[in-house]
Amino acid sequence: MEFILASSNPHKADEFNDLFKDAPISVNPASKKIDVIEDGNTFNENAFKKAKAYYDEFKSPALADDSGLVVPSLPDILGVHSARFSPELPDYKDKNLKLIELIDGKDRAAYFVCYLCFYINPQEVYFFEGRVHGQIGNELQGEDGFGYDPVFLPDGQDGKSLAQVIEWKMTNSHRAKASIAASNFFSNR
C-alpha cells in the first residue's frame, strides 16, 4: 500500500520507509505542504486531522504522525504542545534547559509518545501508538538526535540520552514502536 506522508518534511518519508522496510507499506512525500491547524486535545486527534486533510487534498491514502514528550509532573506544558513549548525560545537547546529548570525538585519521569494515523478512506482509518519511557536528565547529553533527545534518558540505557543511543533509538523509539505495530497489522491483513 502506498501512503502520502502528511508532513512537509521529506526526510520523514525516508525514515518511515526504513521503519517499514519489511512491511507492505511505502511512504511518499507530499508534493506540497498543506497547513493543518493542530488544535486537537490529543495526539490521536492531531494525527487524524493531518491524515484526513492530506487524504482530502490528494485523494490518496495518507499517513500522519503526531508525537511529543509527556512529563506527568508538568501536565500543563509539553504533551500535545511539545513543539510549541516556550515559543520565545526558538532553539531546542534553550527549550531543554528551561525544561530542566522547571522540573527541578519534581518527579522526573517522562515518556515520548507517537500516534500514527493511516487514513485509507473515510471507512478505513487505523491508529497505532508507541511509547518509550524514561526520565528527564539534569543536563543535555549528546550531539545526535533532535528536539528533546539530549535531555531524555530512556529506561535501560545506563543514563545515556536519546541523543547518545541513535542505533537503539532507530528500533526502540516511540515512532519505531508505533511503526512496528502498524507493520505487523498491515503484514497480516
Using CA atoms, how far apart are residues 55 and 4, in angstroms rounded to an integer?
Answer: 8
Sign, CA dihedral 103-104-106-111, equals positive
Cβ-proximal residues to 133 (8 Å cutoff; 6+ apart), any chain: 109, 110, 111, 154, 155
Measure the CA–CA gap between 169 and 146, rounded to whole angstroms: 12
* CA–CA dist 33, 50 (Å, integer): 11
Distance (Å, rounded) from C-alpha 78 to C-alpha 75? 8
Active site residue 66: yes
User: On the CB side of 167, how many CA atoms lie within 13 Å of its CA?
Assistant: 0
Which of 66, 91, 94, 144 is catalytic? The answer is 66
SS3 121: strand
Catalytic amino acids? 66
